[in-house]
Amino acid sequence: STQYLLNKGDTVFSTLIGNIFRRIKTQAAASDLIFLKGSGDGFLSVFQTVPAAFSVAATFLETPIHPEIQVRMALHWGAVKIISNGDVVGTEVSRVFQVEKVSIEDRVEPATSKEPFPSANRILATTQALQRLEPAAQARFRPAGKFRLKGFDKFGELWVWQKVEDWKSRF
């Protein structure tokens, strides 16, 4: 988003940010929304359930917010602490930020799938999140492999969903 701001200007950027916030807050699943804030070049949203978080995230892949904007999203399930100013903190918050920004260079064990690992327009899910989705939602994801997460000792097994037409159209 920083590069987009520099290229397009703050009015266009502010409108885009407003559209993203509105999309998140107007979804039916927003009734499960606990916390939402802009976080530098992205957003952090905390939901009571993984299916609610997934249904909101899926809208950004199914109907992009803007044709020039690519997204990287992460789904994780874990305990967070809500502090006095209403912010959320904790190890699981750090973990989800690390999951969101992994790249192919962070992979320590390849996936069983031969499909490419997308750098954008994807949802990455941890095993903890995937296990809390309904089978139909789980079926959208494919194994991405094990990844090194900065600041964590154990490697994380990740799953990826990118709309099939997105990666197939590149080959």
Q: What is the pLDDT of residue 171?
A: 39
Q: What is the pLDDT of residue 66?
A: 84
Q: What is the pLDDT of residue 169?
A: 47
pTM of the model: 0.87
pLDDT in tens, the chain (171 residues): 556 556 666 677 778 888 888 999 999 999 999 999 987 668 899 999 999 999 999 999 999 988 878 889 999 999 999 999 889 999 999 999 999 999 999 999 988 878 889 999 999 999 999 999 999 999 999 999 999 999 998 888 999 999 755 444 443
Instruction: Report the b/e string of 12-30 with b at 16+ CB within 10 A.
Output: ebeebbeebeeebeebebb
Q: What is the pLDDT of residue 10?
A: 66
Q: CA distances (Å), 164 to each of 7, 50, 81, 147, in order?
A: 30, 22, 36, 22
Q: What is the pLDDT of residue 14?
A: 77
